Structure 1
Amino acid sequence: MDVEAGPRGQARLWHHVEPGLTAAAIWTERSTGRGEDADPLVVLHRPSGMGLLGVFDGVGGAGRAVAGRTPGDVERTQAWIASRRVRGLVEEWFVSERSVASAEGLAAHVAARLGEGVPRRGRVRGSIHRELPSTFAGLAFDVDSSGLRWEALWAGDSRCYVIETGAGLQQLSRDDCDIDDALVQLVQDPPMTNVICADRPFTINTGPGSAQLPCILLCATDGFFGYVDTPARFELVLLETLLSSQDCLHWMGQLAERVCSYTGDDASLALTAFGFTDFASLRASFRERLEHLRVAHAVPMDGVPPADRQALVVARERSWEAYRVSYERRLATAFRDRP
C-alpha cells in the first residue's frame, strides 16, 4: 500500500484511498521538534486481510528526565524515546508474530527490549518517575467480505474506537485509571495506573470486537479527545471535518488544524475505513449522524454563556447522559485481562 505522507506546519499527514478501504493518520506536536507522540502506525497485510493501527504517547511527566542528546545537541527525554521505541517494537511484533499474536506475547516482547542501550537510573520509591514510559493504543484487525473483527490492545490513556454510521463513535478501550466515566475524566484528568515502561511490570489490556461493514476503526492519543468540553465534541470534530472535506488528505489537513486549535498536548491519530466505495460514499454515510450531533449536542453547548459556569456544568452533564448510551455500548465486553 502506497501511503503518501504530507507535512503541514507542525503536522504530518498520511492518506491512502482505494475502493473499500481508506487509511489515514495524523501526527502533531505542540513544541516544534519536541513532540512526545511517535508517528502513528498503520499496517495492512493484504494476503491475509489482517492489519494493525497504533498510537503511542510518551508520558512526559513520568519520563521528563533527559535520556540523551542528538548530534545537533537537542535534548531527548525518556518519554520522547519511549514512544518511538514502543512503536518500533509493536510493529516488529505484528510483522513477525501475526499468526500467534497475543497481548501477553506483545507485552513480553516490549518489556524484553524497551530498555536496551539506555542508561538506567536508580529507582526512587514513591516517585512518579518511570524509565521510558509510554502509552499505547492499538487495533489488530481482520477484514473480509463477512465483516470486520478486531482485538483492542492498550496500556495507559490512549484510546481505541469504532465509528458506525448509525451508532457513531464508540470507545473500545478503558483508560488505565481509577475513574471510568469519560466526562469525569475530562474534568479531573486522573493519573494513570498502568503504562508501558522499562523499570516496572505493566500490562497490555486486550478486548475483542466485531462489526458489519461499512465502519471505521480509529486509535487516538489524548491530545485529540482530552481537551474538548464534552465527549460528544470529539465525534463532532471528526465528522464536521469529514463532511467539509473534498478528499481524504483534505480531511486529515482540516482535522489537524482543528486539533491544533484546541489541544494542549501533542496529538496523533490513525484510522481505517472499511466498506465505503470511495471517499464521497464515506462522507455521505455520516451526514445524518452529524446533523443529529449538531442538534443534540453542539447547539446546546454552544448556547452556554461564556461566563456562566453553572450553565456549562448542566449543559455538559445533559449532553453526556444522552451521548453515553451509544458511546459506551461496547464497553461491557470490550476488555479483559485488566490488572
Structure 2
Amino acid sequence: MTERMSPGCLEVAESRTGTKTGGPGTVPFIGTIDLPKIIDNGEDAPAIALGTADREHGVLAVCDGMGGAGSRRVLVDGLERSEAWHAARLAGMSIERWVRSDGFSFTDPDMESLEAGIDESLQRAARQLPQRNPALKSKMIRTLPTTLTLALWNTKIDGSVSVTAAWLGDSRLYGMSPQTGLFQITVDDAAGKPDALESLRTDPPLTKCVSADGPTRLHRGRIILPEPSVLFAASDGFFGYAKSPLHLEAELLKALWSHSDWDGFLAALKRFARQTAADDVSVALALLGTDSWTEFRAGFQDLVEARCSQLQQLDLQDAHAARLRELGREATELAREATELAEASLEQAWRRRTKSYYRHALSEGPANG
C-alpha cells in the first residue's frame, strides 16, 4: 500500500520553546523537547514531529547546527546569528516542505528530492553571505554546516511499523522497546567509527555533515520496529552527556516507569536534559505500535528490574573506584604534608645543631704559600 499525503494531512506536534504533546489539533503520543542553552539563540533547530491523526504515518527530525565549523556570525533577518544556527533551520524547513509537498509518500519517499531541496536552500543562503577571509583556510571550517537525522514511519496492513531513516552527522535515531530496551538505529559519521561508549569518552570529530560546500548525500536505511516502541530522534546534547549508553537507557526507563502518562514521561526527560546537558538539546519522539500507554509501560516491568539490578552493580563498582581515587588523592596530600613536615623538622634540628657542629671548625685564614 502506498500512502500519499496531501499537505493538510499532517498535524504538528512540535514546540518552539520546550515540550508539547496532546491537546486540540495535535497528535497523541507524539512530542518534542527543545532546550537551547541560550534562549532564541540555540544552534539546534526546533525538533520536528509531524503525524497523521491516527499515527499510522509521520516524521521525526532534528538538525543540530555545527557551532565549531559554522561559528562565523552573519545577519539573518536583521539579527546576528551563527552560520550553524542558520543552517540547522534551513535544513529543518526543507524537511517540513518536503513532507508537506503534494504527492509525498511515506512508503516510497523521494530522498533525492529532499537532498535537492536542502542543497537549493543552503546554496541560496550561502550566496547571500559575505565572502570569507581567504586567509582562513581550515578543513574544519564549513559553510552553513549542520547535522540532520530524520525518521519516516509507516504502519503496514499487518500492523507492523516500518521506519525509513536518513541522516548525516552525529545526531541519532533511537528506539526503545520492552523486548530490547534502548537501541540505536543510525551510525555516527565520526572519525574512527567509535561505538557509543567510546564516543562519549573521546568526543571524536565528525567526518560528514550537511553543508553548502557540497551536494547532500544522506545515509538511508529501513527497519521494522519491534512493537511497541518509542521512536526518537535526538541531537547529541541529549545523549552526549550521559555517563554511558546504559545510563542513558536507565534514565529513559526511570522516566517511563515513574510516570503513568506520556506527558509525565516527556517532562521527566526534559528535567534529565536540563540537569545533564551542557549543549542545546532537541528531541522528537513518538510512541508507535500501541494506543495504550498503560499497556506499553506494563510491558517494561521485567526489563526495568533487570536493567536496574545491572546498573546498581555498575554504580557500586563506580562508587568503589571513586572512593579509591579519593583515598589516593588524600594519601597523596598526606604524603606531601608528611614530607614537608619531615623536611621542616630536619631543617629545624639542623639549625639547633649547627653551633656545636661547627664549634671546632677552623676559621678561614691566609693559605700557606
Length-normalised TM-score, structure 2: 0.75
Match of 1:257 in 2: 271
Match of 2:115 in 1: 107
Letter of the aligned partner of 1:213 in structure 2? Answer: E
- Alignment of 1:288 with 2:302, yes or no, is yes
Match of 2:60 in 1: 53
Q: Which stretch shifts more, 230-239 or 197-206?
A: 197-206
CA distance 1:199–1:75, change in 2 (3 Å): same
Where relative contact order (Cα < 8 A, 6+ residues apart) is larger, the structure is 1
Match of 1:130 in 2: 142
Task: Quote the offset at 1:194 in angstroms.
Answer: 0.7
SS at match of 2:104: helix
Residue from 185, 190, 194 that aligns with 1:180? 194
Match of 2:129 in 1: 119
Q: Which structure 2 residues correspond to residues 6-155 of structure 1 after superposition, within 5 A?
A: 12-16=18-22, 22-45=29-52, 49-68=56-75, 75-96=80-101, 98-99=104-105, 101-117=109-125, 118-122=128-132, 124-146=136-158, 147-155=160-168
Letter of the aligned partner of 1:107 in structure 2? Answer: E
Could you list the per-position Cα deviations for residues 202-246 of structure 1 after superposition, in whole angstroms to 9, with x for gaps in the alignment? Answer: 421101111343222111110111111111111111121121124
SS at match of 1:258: helix
SS at match of 2:303: helix
Match of 1:226 in 2: 240
For structure 2, the 5+ residue unaligned runs are 1-9, 326-369
Task: Quote the offset at 1:13 in angstroms.
Answer: 0.4
Match of 1:322 in 2: none
- Cα distance in 2 for partners of 1:293, 1:180 equals 24
Task: Quote the offset at 1:268 in angstroms.
Answer: 1.1
Task: Quote the offset at 1:301 in angstroms.
Answer: 2.4
SS at match of 1:153: strand
C-alpha contact (below 8 Å) 2:170/2:236 kept by paired residues: yes
Residue from 163, 184, 192 that aligns with 2:176? 163
Length-normalised TM-score, structure 1: 0.81
C-alpha contact (below 8 Å) 1:139/1:151 kept by paired residues: yes
For structure 1, the 5+ residue unaligned runs are 312-339
Task: Quote the offset at 1:45 in angstroms.
Answer: 3.7
- Cα distance in 2 for partners of 1:135, 1:201 equals 14
| Rg (Cα) greater in structure | 2
Task: Quote the offset at 1:289 in angstroms.
Answer: 1.6
C-alpha contact (below 8 Å) 1:137/1:219 kept by paired residues: yes
Letter of the aligned partner of 1:197 in structure 2? Answer: S
SS at match of 2:183: strand
RMSD: 2.8
CA distance 1:38–1:189, change in 2 (3 Å): same
Letter of the aligned partner of 2:110 in structure 1? Answer: S
- Cα distance in 1 for partners of 2:241, 2:210 equals 23
- Cα distance in 2 for partners of 1:254, 1:287 equals 18
Match of 1:332 in 2: none
Match of 2:339 in 1: none
- Cα distance in 2 for partners of 1:223, 1:35 equals 11
Q: Which stretch shifts more, 34-43 or 210-219?
A: 210-219
- Cα distance in 2 for partners of 1:42, 1:57 equals 15
- Cα distance in 1 for partners of 2:302, 2:157 equals 25
Residue from 216, 237, 241 that aligns with 2:251? 237
Letter of the aligned partner of 2:129 in structure 1? Answer: P
